Chains A and B, each alone.
Chain A
Amino acid sequence: MKPTNIGAHDYFHKVVDCQWACPAHTPVPEYIRLIAAGRYSDAYMINWRSNVFPGILGRVCDRPCEPACRRGRVDTEPVAICRLKRVCADLKDDIQDRLPRAPDKKNGKRIACVGAGPASLTVARDLASIGYQVTVFDSGPLPGGMMRSQIPKFRLPDTVIDEECGYIINLGVETRYNQWVNSLRELVDGDWDAVFVGTGAPRGRDAPIPGRQEAAKYIHIGIEWLANVAFGHTTPISERVIVLGGGATAMDCCRSARRMGGEDVKVIVRSGFEEMKASPWEKEEAIHEGIPILNMRVPKEFRHDNGKLSGVLFEIVRAEYDAKGRRSLIPTGEPDEFHECDEVLVAIGQETAFPWIEKDIGLEFDKWEMPVLNPATLQSTLPKVIFGGDAALGPKNIITAAAQGHEAAISIDLFCRGKDLLKRPPPMTNLVSQKMGIHEWSYDNQVSEEERKKVPVKALEKTLKDIKLELEMGFDPFMACAEAERCLNCDIETVFTAKGCIECDACVDICPTECITFTSNGEEDDLRGRLKAPAKNHDQALYVSDVLKTGRVMVKDENICLHCGMCAERCPTGAWDMQKFFLQCAEAGTEPKRT
């Protein structure tokens, strides 16, 4: 193998598994260390810069970082990254004077953002703070989009949404609430330099099976029902409720139904339990609230008595996978199952909807009726119109919307300045030694052996009675510190300098997880098998050094390095060093690299 180029910014970025997995590339270990040090406001600001909504995401993020967390590969459970994010939002001081201010002198460019959800608000923040005049349109009375309308208040209270959306609106963003945009042509032809479409995926998918029309009064589309609950339009639900679907919306629906009067609430899903789209913790929480989840059942018919729903008939299936891994559901032949109920919530997916975009204005749609975009720039075929969030590439999650918002803001900025949208500004990276003394590092390199902390929750009897009462209480400072200490500091990188090495084997002998080997070089597959501990995880890189004096190379398997720094402490010549890798994604206004 060739010597690893650690100068390439994505090599060490990939070692920081959580940051790499985060769509917005939040510098996770950096803010976790600040939490351990009690510097909550600093930790909040790091988050705020990257993901815009730390308090919101600290409660309801999809947490792609946690399955990626290295701790999960060497210990039983990953670090509770998401809930630590909430800690810095909960315990911070007033940070308003640390927020950027919009320049007094504007640059004269006017941007329209359609929708006031996470993607639009991110665009608004990034552009307003560098002098753009941004106007946000939304059909609702308040900013927040689906964060406000679909996520139940017991998971995400309004106060948090108000605060974090407020930080953005206060940058001088003009808001036009309660205004439904019904023509893109008007915006494109109007006095706007660019238009951002962040309208999300507002249409809930229906279940067009027999009985749907007749019993329509008792069958609701999940996201519409959730919005009605959120805005206080819906009166209590009946006692017996069936929720169809296995995603996040289905989990929010069933748990909301439990709080709105549902006593016998069931979730019934086509897929198996493991394949459900909802995250494991969402399923756990539903089960905790006494909601059974029944799998491998496809709804066949809504049964009713003259329009009064009596229940749902299900066919029992099993999953089969073809050679390409595609799933098909095959009926098992068992008799169909009938489940009685009074009302049904359909939460089987949601779609984008663009009835307000005229078909003849030069904006192309593909065969799935999704806008044709350049995935790198999110620019549509109408150069002035940029997409982001669920409206761009289909329903994902808030953190993806924020990440796309940043990219869209960069595109809009480049577009307004007449620059090439494909010449994107690079991220800022830094790599600095953390050595403070002979055995002293600027980070706490003792590896915690504590178990993952559980977030305390309020009593179920209480929370089931009040849909606005937040269930989770968040970590207190002591739990937060203990949980933060579980972080392995993967951003403190092991950096090896071949010319300093005397091949004494001290690092090999001390490494607790045996990830360092000195051996003759070879092809990657051969080398992986020859290491002191074979490197079986091909997703994780091998760090290969230049040739050493004996003709061998140092090979380090990045997979389960604990970043404990023992190799560097044991190294007599300083050939190993622990260096902090910091990566901050570019923001709108950053100049592209000169070539």
Chain B
Amino acid sequence: MTYLAKPKLLRTDAPKNSLGYTRRDYEGAISTLCAGCGHDSISAAIVQACFDLDIEPHRVAKLSGIGCSSKTPDYFLGASHGFNTTHGRMPSVLTGAALANRDLTYMGISGDGDSASIGIGQFAHAMRRGVNMTYIVENIGVYGLTKGQFSATADKGSKSKRGVVNNDTPIDLVALALQLGASYVARSFSGDKEQLIPLIKGALRHRGPAFIDVISPCVTFNNHAGSTKSYDYVREHNDAVNRLDFILPRDQINATYAPGELRRIVQHDGSILHLRKLDSDYDPSDRVGAMNHLQERHALGEIVTGLLYVDSSAEDLHRHLNTVEKPLNQLGDAYLCPGSKALDALNASLR
């Protein structure tokens, strides 16, 4: 960690996005996490994604629970709305906020403890309800804040820093998300921003629950031989099914692709996902196939990454509940609270 704030001096030719912001304008406070923590790379990837997408920082709400991962929203998007909820309760608070104001971009930041242990129920229901959000789990496989005990996502047979072997079966949040109805599901690695940044961009522009499981090595407690979430292990066992190029409708497409290599998916807002296949048999629109592929490779000790499943025509919670389009804070008192006569009439209609 560092105590000093980042100097304000920046290169004179620092690029600006169409809103006139530099990348630095999307940063937050200086991180207090351990030096080398994968989470800081994820924060940097979020900064880059928001900068590239010309997102207005004040139109983002970032919510989190408790834990190392849940501290990170302080370290990016310093000008956005933020809410540190109680442990594991980020999904329900976010659901409430999203219902009240659908105009903001919702980002839920959580960890393996926050989402796979104490908050697993919340996680499950946010996915199945179809909340329009980007749900990022910064998955380290241990409880970092309490000195490195195995978390629920630690692989069976992996070793702790002290040499203890984990005998419990891991929870695969990607498999759960697929099964529970997330309409954009990806896995990535904090040490591979080239893969991670476009995945975050695609998720931010996806309508519906977008879930990204980012494996993030804990440099202090889970980056040793015997760990299955260390920098070295993940690099050696990373089995990417595809590479995503995220393309905004306004962008020119310069890349050329070999025939049969590319899968082109248009999202509801016109943004385009170009998926370069690395595994020719993999079909990211086949949910059942994705689940099978994941299980097969996991049995071989491999970590499947990439955009694993996307349903670009998915619908979200607002559609299911037929909620009002306008944010509640713009509706006005008279509309929100029409008075006792209206209540009486409503009650009468139900008798």
Contact = CB atoms under 8 A, between A and B. Distances in A.
Given A569-B35, A572-B34, A505 B41 contact: yes
Contacts of A562: 7, 9
Contact of B219 (A446, A504, A513): A504
Given A439-B1, A446-B4, A566-B6, A505 B44 contact: yes
Interface in A521-537: 533, 536
Interface string B14-44: 1000000001100000000011111011011
A506 B231 CA distance: 13
A571 B12 contact: no
B8 interface: yes
Given A439-B3, A504-B38, A570-B35, A75 B9 contact: yes
Contact of B10 (A505, A510, A513): A513
Contact of B2 (A502, A514, A566): A566
B243 to A, nearest CB: 16
B215 to A, nearest CB: 13
B41 A504 contact: yes
A139 interface: no
A485 B223 CA distance: 39
Contacts of A216: none
A513 B9 contact: yes
Contacts of B1: 439, 569-570
A449 B232 contact: no
B191 interface: yes
A509 B43 contact: yes
Interface string A494-515: 0000000011111011101110
Contacts of A566: 2, 4, 6
Given A439-B3, A503-B191, A560 B231 contact: no
A569 B4 CA distance: 10
B194 to A, nearest CB: 10
A572 B9 contact: no
B36 A506 contact: yes
A584 interface: no
B2 A449 contact: no
B58 interface: no
B268 interface: no
A505 B219 CA distance: 12
Nearest to B223: A502
User: How big is the A interface, by class?
Assistant: 20 to 34
Contacts of B44: 505, 508-509
Contacts of A573: 36
Given A504-B191, A506-B41, A550-B235, A571 B35 contact: yes
Given A75-B9, A504-B191, A513-B9, A445 B4 contact: yes
B333 interface: no
Given A569-B2, A569-B35, A503 B9 contact: no
Given A504-B217, A505-B44, A570-B2, A512 B9 contact: yes
Nearest to A519: B194
A288 interface: no
B11 interface: yes
A95 to B, nearest CB: 35
Given A502-B231, A533-B14, A570-B35, A510 B4 contact: no
Contacts of A445: 4
Interface string B71-82: 000000000000
Of A506, A513, A533, A562, most buried by chain B (CB within 10 Å of CB) is A506
A75 B7 CA distance: 12
A74 B9 contact: yes
B274 to A, nearest CB: 21
Nearest to A513: B11
A506 B7 contact: no
A458 to B, nearest CB: 34
B193 interface: yes
Contacts of B217: 504
A505 B2 contact: no
B36 A504 contact: yes
A480 interface: no
Contacts of B37: 504, 506
A75 B13 CA distance: 12
21 contacts: A439-B4, A445-B4, A502-B223, A504-B37, A504-B217, A505-B44, A506-B37, A509-B41, A512-B7, A512-B24, A514-B11, A533-B14, A536-B13, A564-B4, A566-B2, A569-B35, A570-B35, A570-B40, A571-B35, A571-B36, A572-B34
Given A74-B11, A549-B232, A562-B7, 8 more contacts: A502-B36, A504-B41, A504-B190, A505-B40, A506-B40, A533-B11, A570-B1, A571-B35
